Amino acid sequence: MADILCIGAGYVGGPTMAVIALHCPQHKVTVVDINEKRINAWNSDHLPIYEPGLQEVVERTRGKNLFFTSDHIGDHIDQADIIFVSVNTPTKTFGRGAGRAADLQHWEKVARQILEHSNSPKIIIEKSTLPVRTAQAMEQILNSNPSNIHFDVLSNPEFLAEGSAIQDLQNPDRVLIGGHGTPEAQQAVETIVNLYANWVPREKIITTNLWSSELSKLVANAFLAQRISSINAISALCEKTEADVEEVAYAVGTDTRIGPRFLKASVGFGGSCFKKDILNLVYICEKQGLHEVAEYWEGVLKINEYQQARFVAKMVSAMFNTLAGKRITLFGAAFKANTSDTRESPALVVCRELLAEHADVVLSDPFALENAKADLGADASKVTFEADPYKAAEGAHAIAVLTEWEDFVTLDYERIFASMVHPAFIFDGRIILDHQAVFDIGFNVYPIGKAPKQHFHWPPTNGFQAP
Ligand code: UDX
Ligand code: UDX
């Protein structure tokens, strides 16, 4: 039996440890966090995050071999054989590299905390996404202890996506474990390989050197985001040429060399990882003097910002060049469906831009309104939050679909149309609605990457121009 500890009970640490506990009943898994409120939520019926299937896994393991606590963190560190570190590594907001580099202060604090409370050798695992070669700094801090306790630092990045985290953890494409080539480090790698082998087929467990593992996480996210920016860039061209972005994505994606996934055009990607990790990659490249490489990846972020700005510009121009005083209902606040997470959500970017146009914004989402309120900060007071989409749309001039929740597909749009101000507009930022059907009801419809369907001629010249 091993004593496994995870520091950081967030979106990554909580679900990952719950699945490890489920598949490794022989091991004791403890999750600690400095945030007592979050730990209390993990111990309640209302988990701090919404994730399909998570509640069930937690109920099956909590109190048996899975424990959440914010007490006596030092004692738990001391008792642990294996420590996963899953604390947040946001983009730095101050000093050198502000706005681009990763803020490693939590990571370093945790390393020092581990050092302070350890009396026996341990395997320390980087679960948080970190810049390449962070493990080196960690090793230096950890191995600076006067009592010569041995620590092996491994990298085991998480590839789970929110909304499908449990499925991704139960049946991952691969598990990546990076470690040094020394016999001790290789033994530590083998320990973690054996841990995952409790439920993951061996051939899906990849082992690499430490730096490859750290960098692979950043690169995987950069590649995924790049595909979205690629198709989003093409969506702009589709709108000008009457090509249909879904048809183009399908035609392109059926080439097995390209593949069909992550080619869904949208109002832009959000989430806590893509932007942060690409900024980090760009910063690392720049620091290494690789300016062309940095510029290449920065382009992925530029297109993402362009796509969101373009969406709002289209709303303004389609609605007769003014949104001031108009009630605009946003369907979706979460950065993607099946999560309550609103971090870097394009919905909130659009919301803020509409407020800047003096629109009267109503935000509707089945699970994410609480997080949206917190993330909007001072702007929240200018927004109406309404979970019921029918009430949210009442009296609105326009609806913008910003999260691909299935709930929004199956609404009664005839009822919604009847309750709105006419002419009524729908801007589909996720391409999920039946555009012909809503057009036939009477809506003017503007999907990303497709020709609009309008009941009148506007603007007077062909195509949309931002005011
Ligand atoms: C985080 C990182 O953001 C991401 O880069 C990494 O890949 C995985 O870990 P996430 O789980 O989504 O992702 O972060 P978050 O939900 O913010 O959780 C981090 C938790 O760590 C918070 O609950 C915070 O209270 C906790 N924490 C932070 C500690 O317990 N100790 C600290 O010193 C700092
Ligand atoms: C991502 C990675 O997928 C995951 O492997 C990593 O561990 C963390 O970062 P996540 O951010 O949770 O996961 O969600 P993801 O499904 O990747 O979606 C990110 C954003 O891209 C969302 O806003 C989503 O709506 C958008 N997206 C995704 C598109 O706009 N089009 C697509 O085709 C796919």
Taking only the tens of pLDDT, the chain with its 467 residues reads 899 999 999 999 999 999 999 999 999 999 999 999 999 999 999 999 989 999 999 999 999 999 999 999 999 999 999 999 999 888 889 998 898 888 889 989 999 999 999 999 999 999 988 888 888 888 888 988 888 899 999 999 999 999 999 999 999 999 999 999 999 999 999 999 999 999 999 999 999 999 999 999 999 999 999 999 999 999 999 999 999 999 999 999 999 999 999 999 999 999 999 999 999 999 999 999 999 999 999 999 999 999 999 999 999 999 999 999 999 999 999 999 999 999 999 999 999 999 999 999 999 999 999 999 999 999 999 999 999 999 999 999 999 999 999 999 999 999 999 999 999 999 999 999 999 999 999 999 999 999 999 998 878 655 545 44
Q: Closest-lying ligand to the alpha carbon of 165? A: 2
What pLDDT is stored for residue 467 in this prediction? 47
What pLDDT is stored for residue 91 in this prediction? 87
Report how far apart, in Å, the C-alpha atoms of 336 and of each of 267, 341, 347, 383 are.
Answer: 11, 8, 9, 20
40 CA from centroid of ligand 2 (Å): 28
Q: Which residue's CA lies nearest to atom 2 of ligand 2?
A: 161
Alpha-carbon torsion (442, 447, 453, 458), positive or negative: positive
Q: Which residue's CA lies nearest to atom 32 of ligand 1?
A: 106
Give 117: exposed, middle or buried? Use CB within 10 Å, 0-12, 13-18, 19+.
middle
140 CA from centroid of ligand 2 (Å): 34
d(CA 181, CA 185): 6
Atom of ligand 1 nearest to the CA of 33: 30
Atom of ligand 1 nearest to the CA of 110: 33
Instruction: Identify the residues whose C-beta falls under 6 Å from ligand 1.
Output: 7-13, 33-35, 38, 86-89, 106, 109-110, 127-129, 158, 272
What pLDDT is stored for residue 102 in this prediction? 84
161 CA from centroid of ligand 2 (Å): 6
pTM for the model: 0.94
Amino acid identity of residue 173, one-letter, is D
* Residues recognised as catalytic: 273
What pLDDT is stored for residue 420 in this prediction? 98
Instruction: Identify the residues whose C-beta falls under 6 Å from ligand 2.
Output: 158-162, 221, 224, 228, 262-264, 266, 269-271, 273-274, 335-336
Q: Which residues pair with 68 in a beta bridge?
A: 31
Pair of tokens at residue 69: 């606590």
What pLDDT is stored for residue 218 in this prediction? 94
227 CA from centroid of ligand 2 (Å): 11
What pLDDT is stored for residue 461 in this prediction? 57
What pLDDT is stored for residue 100 in this prediction? 87
Kindly give, in sequence order, each residue whose CB lies less than 8 Å from that of residue 439, ignoring residues fewer than 6 positions away.
445, 453, 455
